[in-house]
């Protein structure tokens, strides 16, 4: 079986936060999260909070708006329009999205209360404050720290429970460096990475599978209506093939983990490309193909087992070297990697796509796969091992 794995949880959170730019087609929301995190990290440091609390706060800041609905996203960052929405709804939605993911549950409750000014949770209170300051900042062109301080005072002067947070903010924002960094996202990101540090966690087999299943459901497949069950379908197909071929439970578990993660690179792909009903242009197709590389890069950054990373990342490679992103050939591809490639094609054929309204039947999908195997694209032995009982999964 797979040994326990050390995961860089901070890197995972940062990447999911970063993909809000493409996930929501809105760069402003990601920049907002970065600035909120920067403000909150400075405040937590000034207040001498425990390191674990500061890390949880940083993670919560980076993902505090992850639950925002489409109609809310454009309004969250405008002072005069916030009153037109139920601003606490997305906070609870974010909590619901994250609370069942292993290790995310430590900061999910902070997100739940980040728009509740009466919260007793100090970390939620700091996000509330930082969020208000960031929106104030983006809606005003502050050129001096004094201007910012006066505006902040007018906003919080009647909110006595925020006195300690306000006092800490006044200390960390009293020089021009604060304004300079707030106006330069690239420099702010560098500084932010130095303020708190990364959080690493050791995940056992059950925790790892639980995490990747939740990530697949909530962040990968949820991105598009056309991929809402793709990761679980690919995983089910791959594991079923492996069992038919007599692979060990340990190998099946590797496939299961890799299956749930194989398309995580798609969170970097713009939605208008993922859902384009027409043929992609050359540049659009290159962008689409890049998801396999982003899966490889992202999973490597987390510190996952190399075998799992490669199984997940090589699902578009072909035996004849015509695949992507690395152009690997048959001798470079293990049986488990080949199984994942076949499972991905089978699932894609059986599912609805933007360019195809009807799902292809099992027999027709097998026929297509056999033709691919005959011209050297995929492994015929694996195609022949697709069990007929997969039909049970697809009859919906």
- Give me the architecture of the 5-195 domain, per CATH: Orthogonal Bundle (1.10)
Separation of first and last alpha carbons in the chain: 33
pLDDT grade, residue 3 (50/70/90)? Answer: low
Residue 350: what pLDDT? Answer: 84
Classify residue 228 by burial, with Cβ atoms within 10 Å: 0-12, 13-18, 19+. Answer: middle
pLDDT at 262 over 70: yes
pLDDT grade, residue 395 (50/70/90)? Answer: very low
Residue 24: what pLDDT? Answer: 47
Q: Return the higher-pLDDT residue of 84 and 328.
A: 328
pLDDT-wise least confident of 160-169, 200-209, 282-291, 375-384: 200-209
- Give me the architecture of the 205-394 domain, per CATH: Orthogonal Bundle (1.10)
Q: Return the higher-pLDDT residue of 2 and 62.
A: 62
Residue 354: what pLDDT? Answer: 55
Q: Tell me which residue has tokens 């930082």.
A: 130
Comparing CA positions, the residue from 231, 302, 299, 284 lying closest to residue 260 is 231
Averaged pLDDT score across all residues of the chain:
86
pLDDT at 312 over 70: yes
pLDDT grade, residue 322 (50/70/90)? Answer: very high
Residue 226: what pLDDT? Answer: 55
User: Stretch 291-300: mean pLDDT, rounded?
Assistant: 90
Q: Where are the domains of the chain?
A: 5-195, 205-394
pLDDT at 259 over 60: yes
Residue 26: what pLDDT? Answer: 54
Quick: pLDDT tens for 361-374. Answer: 888 999 999 999 99
Q: How far is CA 25 from CA 35, 59, 191, 228, 392, in A?
A: 18, 21, 26, 19, 36
Same fold for the pair 5-195 and 205-394: yes
Please list the alpha-helical segments (H only) found in 245-375: 249-261, 271-274, 282-302, 306-313, 335-350, 362-374
Tell me if the pTM is above 0.85.
no
Residue 247: what pLDDT? Answer: 96
Q: Return the higher-pLDDT residue of 306 and 213.
A: 306
pLDDT at 146 over 70: yes
Quick: pLDDT tens for 43-86. Answer: 999 999 999 999 999 999 999 988 876 556 666 666 666 666 77
At 374, list the tokens. Answer: 């005959």
Q: Taking the CA atoms of the chain, what radius of gyration do you get in angstroms?
A: 24
């Amino acid at each position: 079986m797979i040994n326990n794995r050390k995961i860089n949880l901070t890197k995972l959170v940062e990447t999911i936060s970063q993909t809000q730019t493409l996930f929501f087609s809105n760069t402003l929301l990601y920049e907002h999260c970065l600035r909120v995190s920067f403000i909150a990290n400075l405040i937590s440091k000034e207040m001498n909070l425990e390191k674990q609390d500061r890390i949880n706060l940083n993670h919560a800041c980076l993902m505090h708006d992850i639950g925002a609905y489409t109609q809310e996203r454009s309004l969250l960052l405008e002072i005069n329009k916030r009153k037109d929405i139920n601003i606490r709804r997305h906070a609870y939605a974010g909590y619901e999205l994250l609370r069942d993911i292993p290790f995310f549950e430590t900061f999910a409750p902070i997100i739940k209360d980040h728009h509740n000014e009466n919260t007793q949770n100090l970390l939620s209170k700091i996000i509330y404050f930082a969020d208000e300051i960031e929106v104030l900042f983006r809606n005003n062109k502050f050129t001096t720290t004094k201007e910012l301080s006066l505006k902040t005072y007018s906003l919080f002067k009647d909110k006595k429970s925020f006195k300690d947070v306000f006092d800490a903010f006044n200390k960390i924002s009293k020089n021009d460096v604060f304004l300079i960094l707030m106006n330069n996202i690239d420099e702010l990101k560098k500084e932010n990475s130095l303020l708190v540090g990364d959080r690493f966690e050791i995940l056992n087999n059950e925790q790892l599978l639980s995490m990747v299943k939740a990530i697949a459901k909530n962040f990968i497949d949820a991105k598009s209506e056309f991929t809402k069950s793709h990761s679980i379908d690919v995983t089910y197909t791959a594991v079923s093939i492996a069992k038919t071929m007599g692979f060990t439970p340990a190998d099946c578990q590797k496939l299961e983990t890799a299956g749930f993660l194989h398309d995580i690179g798609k969170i970097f792909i713009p939605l208008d490309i993922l859902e384009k009903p027409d043929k992609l242009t050359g540049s659009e197709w290159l962008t689409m193909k890049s998801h396999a590389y982003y899966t490889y890069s992202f999973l490597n950054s987390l510190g996952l087992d190399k075998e799992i990373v490669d199984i997940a990342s090589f699902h578009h490679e072909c035996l004849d070297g015509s695949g992507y992103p690395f152009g690997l050939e048959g001798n470079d591809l293990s049986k488990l990697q080949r199984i994942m490639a076949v499972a991905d094609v089978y699932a894609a054929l059986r599912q609805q796509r933007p360019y195809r309204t009807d799902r292809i039947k099992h027999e027709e999908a097998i026929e297509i796969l056999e033709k691919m195997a005959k011209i050297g694209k995929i492994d015929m032995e694996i195609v022949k091992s697709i069990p007929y009982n997969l039909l049970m999964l697809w009859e919906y």
